[in-house]
Every structure is written in C-alpha cells, then in structure tokens.
Structure 1
Amino acid sequence: MQVSRDDLAALLQIQQIDLEIMRQTKQLEELPQREAILATRQKRESIEAKRAQVEGLQREARKKITRITDEDASLAKKETGVQAAIEAAHGDFRNAEARTKELAGIAKRRATLAADHDAAADELAKIDGLAAQIARALDELDAQERSLVESFQREGGSLKNTIAQMQAQRAAAAASCSPEVLDLYDRAAARSGGVAVGRLDGNRCGTCRAVIEGGRLIDLKAQAPLGTCPACKRLLIIA
C-alpha cells in the first residue's frame, strides 16, 4: 500500500501511545487499593451484622433488668403495705402470723430478684464490652478505608491524568495521519488487541515471527511500504 513516510511515522507514534495507554490503564485497574478497599468494605459488612446481633442482645438484657427492677419495686411497695398491716394487727396473732409469712415470702423473692439483677447486669456489662470492641473495630476500618481511598485517588488520579495527556497526544498524531491508513490501523489493533504494526524482518513477520515464503512474500513486498501479515493480519512496514 502506498503511504507517505509521515503516515508511517504517525502509525508508529500512535501505536507507541496506544501501548502506553494500555499499560497505564492496566496499572490503574490493578492498583492494590481497589482490592484492599473492597476487602475492608466486606469486613465492615460482617462486623455490622455482628453489631446488629449485639444490639439485639443489649435490648433483651436491658428489658430483663427493667422487668426485674419493676417487679422489685412492686414487691417493695407491697412489703411496706404488709409491714403496715402487721403493725396495725394489735394482738390479732393469727393475722399477724399470716402477714409475717407473706412478708418472708416477699423478702425471699426480692433476694432472688437481687441475684437475678446482678447476673443480668453482669451479662449486660459483657455485652456492652463487646459492643465497644465492635465500635472500635468499625472506627479502625473507617480510618483504614479513608486512607486507602485517599491513596487510590492520589495514585489513580495521577494515572488518569497521564492517560488523558496521552489520549490528547494520540488525537494529535491521528489527525496527522490519513483517514484510510488510520482506519487500517484501528481495525488491525482491534484484531490483535495490542501491537497492530510490525516490520518485515527478512522473510518473517517482526511481530508474530511467522515465516512468509514464496509467492506470499513476493506479494507482500509488492505492497511496500505498508502491507499486511498473511498470518496475524497485522500491518507490516516493508523497508
């Protein structure tokens, strides 16, 4: 194919830019902060689920303490009333005896409630301690994620700026190339997924290294200065 030296130079420049854009884009996609941020967020989800469970335990423990406290308050009020009734018995020994037994029952129940209250309070303290640990873990994860995001934005932003600059350079180089040649390059690049232009190296494609023999080599050289490798379909610059 008859093309100018300027077109050949533009093709090589475009390819060099495209390969560097691909390299920088891959580096951007493979920044380690991406995986680290994802792992941090997944870990947070797991800890958030545990926090929800612990909060449920806290609510139940507090309800239990409230029930115990309410019952004890009710018994204390009843105890005061029974004591007053005993004092008002005035020699009614049978009534006083019954009231005394009732008073003893109340005292026994209140003692049980006091033990239950202490046990429930101890359990709530343990749960609160676990909740505090979870809160600290979430705070640490938040700080870790902020640091990772800042690092990703810093490195990723630098890479994006570099890619944008190279894309501008590519556009300028493409503008200096004939549309027909540029279309051939773009199609070859789409097929190859990378290097689209090589050089004929003797009787071999300088890119795929396939041997080009006989009539095919003669036909290819006849296309100078730009042909197509019959094996990999890349563009070949023929000196």
Structure 2
Amino acid sequence: MLEVRNLTVKFAGLTAVDDLSFTVNQGEVFTLMGPNGAGKTTAFNAIGGFVRPTAGHVALRGQSMAGMSPAQVAALGIRRTFQNNGILREMSVLENVLTGLELSTRSSFWGCALGAPGSARAERDATRRAREMLGQMDIAGLADRPAGDLSFGQQRLVEIARAMVAGAELIMLDEPAVGLSPGERLHLGQVLRELTAKGMTVLLVEHVQDLVMAVSDQILVLNYGKKIAQCPPSEVRNNKDVLEVYLGHA
C-alpha cells in the first residue's frame, strides 16, 4: 500500500528524519513510536505533502508522490489528522464531518444553490454517510451541536470521523488518543480494527501504549530520526534497543 524508501528531512542542517525506510501493507495498522523529537510527525508531514523531503521516495500503490501538495495526496485516497485539533469550532459536528467528503461528493456550489436533482441526491448521500460515521464513532447524538462546545476528547473523535468518512484507502492518525478517556480509547481501537477488517490501512503515530499494543500489526520505533526497531507488538517490549531509548537500559 505505502512504500517509504530512504526518506530524509533536514531543517537548516538539523536532520529530523534520517534515511527512513518501511512498507505498510493493505489492511494493517502500522504504528510509528518514539520519544518526543524522534521525527514521527515530520515523517508524517513528509508523506502527506506538508514538508518537502530532502531525499528519498514515497509511493502509494507504486505511484510516486514526489512533489505532490497535500490536496493532491488527499485526492489519491490518503486522509490524516493532526496533533493540534483541526476542528472547525463554529460549525456543527455534522458539518465538520461533511467537510471530509468534499473531494468525493459529486456536487457543486451552483448545483446545490439551484436545487439540481443530482446535487440534491449527492448532498443527501453525503449527509447519510456522515451520520453513519458519527454512529460508528458512538457520537451520533452530537451531530447538531457546535463542535466548539464539545470536550477535547469528543472533538478528537469528530476529527477522526471527518478523516475516515470519505472511505480513504490509507488514513494517517497523529496521536488520536490525546485527550480521550480510557473508554473512548477502547472504542477507538475497536473502530480502527473494524475499518482495517474492511480493507482500510492505518498509519498511526501514538504514545498511548495500551492503544498501540491493542491495535498495531507492526511497530516502528524512531529515535533522533532513525529507525532503531521494527517488530510486532509482542516483540517490542523485549527489544533491547527500544528499552534503551525508553528506559535508559536494556
């Protein structure tokens, strides 16, 4: 699904991502872990078109993404969330999720304004899909509330629903468990597993260990921009290089 080869990102001489290579297979949850400053989000930004790599190769299903803008990357079938909540606070929860369908809804401004039948059907279908996703995230009852009135954890769930609703092939989640209660994290893990069972692929950056261990198929650990380990969750706790990074000893 996703191939990253020799990805390097430098800022004013500082190497944030250093010759990083990995492959993500369809239908799996692939997690990037590491201490603060390890280069996880920079790698995400380079894959998503928000940062231009200094060197390296990124491809989706064999198609090079070199030089693509974030909008072009999204059009390929990749969606993402961000560490800092990107919720549209003045809009309703439902309207926030509907923005995630902008690229995949076959309607236009004038078609909606003039009441064209095809546009009306497209809008009804988009609304149905958005409400179904809110139900899947267990927040359907919040659909008509202003997003800015929600708790931080609820806003995170709305942002994730917005990223997922378009049926993207690959979804990139940057620390989605921030601000979630243990129950919300458990539910998020269940949703991710349901989506991957249907063929969606998830690239995850996360610090919350219980979520990572519950949903990941592969975990790649970064430190100072370099890959120090890649293994299944069952092996990561006993990996001496990972223990050295997190605990200071093997």
TM bucket normalised to smaller? under 0.3
Task: State TM-score, norm by structure 2.
Answer: 0.23
Pair member with larger Rg: 1
Task: State TM-score, norm by structure 1.
Answer: 0.23
Greater helix share, structure number: 1
